[in-house]
Structure 1
Amino acid sequence: MNRFDKKVELRLPDSLKWSGVNRLFKGEDLLPLWVADMDFEAPAPVLEAIRRRVDAGLFTYTELPPSLFEAVAGWLDRRFNWPVAPSDLLFASGVVTLLKASVLAFTQPGDSVVVQPPVYGPFGDAVTGQGRELVLNPLKIEQGKYKMDFDDLEAKLRLTGAKLLLLCSPHNPAGRVWEEAELNRLAALCQAYGVTVASDEIHSDLILSGQHIPIASLPGMAERTVTFIAPSKTFNLAGLHTSFAVATDETLRIGLDQALGYRSPNPLSIAGAEAAYREGEEWLEACLAYLRGNVSFAADYLAELLPDAVVYVPEATYLLWVDLRAYGLSQEELGRLLVQEARVAVSGGGAFVSEGEGRIRINLATRRENLEEGLSRIARALGSVQPGGEAGIDGAEAGEA
């Protein structure tokens, strides 16, 4: 049996995804395919390292050991051929914290900050919640693929004088791995208009096809980029609240460090993160193989049972972005249908700043058995709606299924 098909206890009393789902979505017996963590056990070396630390029996105030930063730097060199010094790294509790700190560090109240929706919701909150002006540079769809709209971006950089761009690379929820030509064009605009880039690369280890290129590794970008990574998505360690910023430019690094303020690391987080970056590669490769299988299964399944849905097959992440606008439902109607009839919890498109109306994001990082059950529930519920939003003749029966 594949290790990722192993049944593990998921309804832990403190599990946001599993135990909190009915309360948060106001439904009953919901199958959670929403928040971005995995239903897989963490790598064995991580569990062993945490157990050793627990066995020590002391949970004192903790320093960040040099070995942790050496492990992270080694990982970046091995995975992306991106040599950075351990001293170029900063520790933080999470990437959302780093997004907010970057806005504080590199802009002033009233300054403009660019984001590229549809994008992870905290990108917008990090800007508007701190008195900055949110500038939207929506992605466009060409030949069934999300792409950056560089003409729109340049026009808005010229008009607004934006000081900062929050980049999502790879992109959540579109699943894009930005190609070198795309990143070079973005880099040229940022250099021409004096824009700093805060690049959320938390999904950079979850590459399903293509190759991830850190934008900071491109010519002229190290001095204007801070990059955010974490073991949380890669190794299913989200609850350990550990992330890192890469800032090879000293001025940027000092500014971000000051904006982050005091940080007190958790000894279990440190033990788990260092073990993951030193010994987690074999687990990750096996996990990626399983995720690729889930992506193929989901895409084929939905193409057969919901042919009017538009499925954007991800090049990275374990998240599937699906356009259901052909069914003619508002975001509210779609949400009610999925919760009340399908009894599935997914992330609604309204959570992604803008450009998400009529879309959903499905978390594929679960056992194939769970995934098939969730997709079948969605297909049955939407099968009662004809394209255009009219109920089919079997609508009542499908709704009761």
Structure 2
Amino acid sequence: MSENKYDFDSGIDRRNTCSLKWDFCQHVLGVPDVIPMWVADMDFPAPPEVVEAVKKRAEHGAYGYPFIPRSFWTSIINWMKARHGWEIKREWLSRAPGVVPALNICVQTYTAPGDKIIVQSPVYYPFFSAVENNGRRVVKNPLVYKNNRWQMDLEGLKQKIDHRTKMLILCSPHNPVGRVWERPELEALAEICLKHNLLIISDEIHAEHVYKGHKHIPIASLSPEVAARTITLNAPSKAFNIAGLTTSEVIIPNPRLLNLYQTHLENLGLTVNNIFGLVALEAAYTHGAAWLDQLVEYLEGNMDYAQHYFEERIPQIKFLKPEGTYLALLDCRALGLPQKELNEFFLKKARVYFDEGPIFGEELVGFERMNLACPRSLLAEALQRINSAISELGS
């Protein structure tokens, strides 16, 4: 047990702070007193070291066009080496105002309208829109659930590739199923992609929330050959709860691919960064390791608490504990409710708001995605509400 230097039990009141997670429920859904456990950000303040860095910059008073200092890039390089054993170089690095914008830029830059892009559903739903909204074609290679674990269907993947298939989008760790892919899985996937000359776009934004017994491996770190065909998208936004500062790093070891990305970034006019995002990223990667270590321990405690609660008191719902991310799937099929009624039940009866499973893929009909990045007292209240609503449902 690490020293509890940081307080994750108190949380923070996020209502009426322009919080999508909280204020959407109040002002759009119009349901009072809802506990929001949907969108993937956390109900904890950012690390105090990050808050102080942002406050110091804000107190300066001038918020003109930013310059990106060398220390910004160095903090990313040092973080990747220290946390993931991956030695990256300054000349591999670019940036974006978020992982989703970076994903769209990659689709636009490296593929043409009509090209096929493989997505392994169920998965983070902007993967689908990034492909479809840019006139490309989604090819689904669904994950398979066997032996109580989601796995990649590598044989199915081979069969879905043809001459129009140009790209595979990987979610690693995987949102929403919570898998932390193991080295043999990544190696097998990379081998297929290299054989068929597929570009890998790897969304690794959840890399820092990995639980005991598991280790995140950046797919581009497998070999120079894989690195040359991989664009890695990452950010401190999930790890340190700074998504609103819209600053992400993009890692592209292949100089030709990097040049294409940079050119498209400039053509879109997306080269000006959020000045507070620059400061926050550097502070998080430079001073945030101890806070993050304690956070991950706390999050795993939340996972264990929820799993035990469901098993003991709400066995009708199966809690699928993730290997990584602070998101968990709830298998609600035993309740026998159609998806629309299931969503209404949790919102109106339990007064807990989740992301409904089917937005991630048809494989999750009857599921909900639950965000457990909150103080344990709030989690306990949410579980009690669900338990009470389930009891009334059965009466």
Is TM-score (shorter-chain normalized) higher than 0.5? yes
Structure 1 residue 382: Cα displacement: 2.9
Q: Is the 1:4–1:367 contact (alpha carbons within 8 Å) kept by the matching residues of 2?
A: yes
Q: Which residue type is aligned with residue 296 of structure 1?
A: D
* TM-aligned CA distance change 1:337 to 1:242, over 3 Å: same
- Does residue 90 (structure 1) correspond to residue 98 (structure 2)? The answer is no
What secondary structure does 2:303 align onto? helix
* TM-aligned CA distance change 1:121 to 1:25, over 3 Å: farther
Deviates more, 1:176-185 or 1:376-385: 376-385
1:255 corresponding residue in structure 2? 260
Within 5 Å, give how 1:1-400 maps onto structure 2: 3-158=7-162, 161-209=164-212, 210-219=214-223, 220-261=225-266, 262=269, 263-385=271-393, 392=394, 394=395
Deviates more, 1:235-244 or 1:304-313: 304-313
For 2:155 and 2:314, the matched residues in 1 are separated by 34
1:272-302 residue CA offsets vs partner (Å, 9 max, x unmatched): 1100000000100010111010000011111
The sequence identity of aligned pairs, in percent, is 40
1:398 corresponding residue in structure 2? none
Q: Is the 2:11–2:45 contact (alpha carbons within 8 Å) kept by the matching residues of 1?
A: no
* TM-aligned CA distance change 1:52 to 1:13, over 3 Å: closer
* TM-aligned CA distance change 1:329 to 1:259, over 3 Å: farther
Structure 1 residue 26: Cα displacement: 4.4
Q: Is the 2:11–2:374 contact (alpha carbons within 8 Å) kept by the matching residues of 1?
A: no
Q: Could you list the runs of 5+ residues in structure 1 that have no partner in the other structure?
A: 386-391, 395-401
1:50-72 residue CA offsets vs partner (Å, 9 max, x unmatched): 11111211111111111101100
Q: Which residue type is aligned with residue 146 of structure 1?
A: W
Q: Could you list the runs of 5+ residues in structure 2 that have no partner in the other structure?
A: none
For 1:142 and 1:258, the matched residues in 2 are separated by 43
For 2:158 and 2:392, the matched residues in 1 are separated by 44
For 2:105 and 2:90, the matched residues in 1 are separated by 20
Structure 1 residue 7: Cα displacement: 4.0
Structure 1 residue 208: Cα displacement: 1.1
For 1:309 and 1:94, the matched residues in 2 are separated by 34
Q: Is the 1:124–1:353 contact (alpha carbons within 8 Å) kept by the matching residues of 2?
A: no
Structure 1 residue 27: Cα displacement: 2.3
For 1:113 and 1:26, the matched residues in 2 are separated by 38
Q: Is the 1:25–1:339 contact (alpha carbons within 8 Å) kept by the matching residues of 2?
A: no
Q: Is the 1:104–1:130 contact (alpha carbons within 8 Å) kept by the matching residues of 2?
A: yes
For 1:180 and 1:319, the matched residues in 2 are separated by 22
1:192-219 residue CA offsets vs partner (Å, 9 max, x unmatched): 1110000000000111131111001112
For 2:231 and 2:156, the matched residues in 1 are separated by 24
Q: Superposition RMSD on alpha carbons, in Å?
A: 1.4
Deviates more, 1:298-307 or 1:332-341: 298-307
For 2:23 and 2:158, the matched residues in 1 are separated by 45
For 2:272 and 2:113, the matched residues in 1 are separated by 28
Q: Is the 2:11–2:43 contact (alpha carbons within 8 Å) kept by the matching residues of 1?
A: no
Structure 1 residue 327: Cα displacement: 1.4
Q: Which residue type is aligned with residue 371 of structure 2?
A: N
1:397 corresponding residue in structure 2? none
Structure 1 residue 313: Cα displacement: 0.8
What secondary structure does 2:21 align onto? coil
Query: TM-score, normalized by length of structure 2?
Result: 0.95
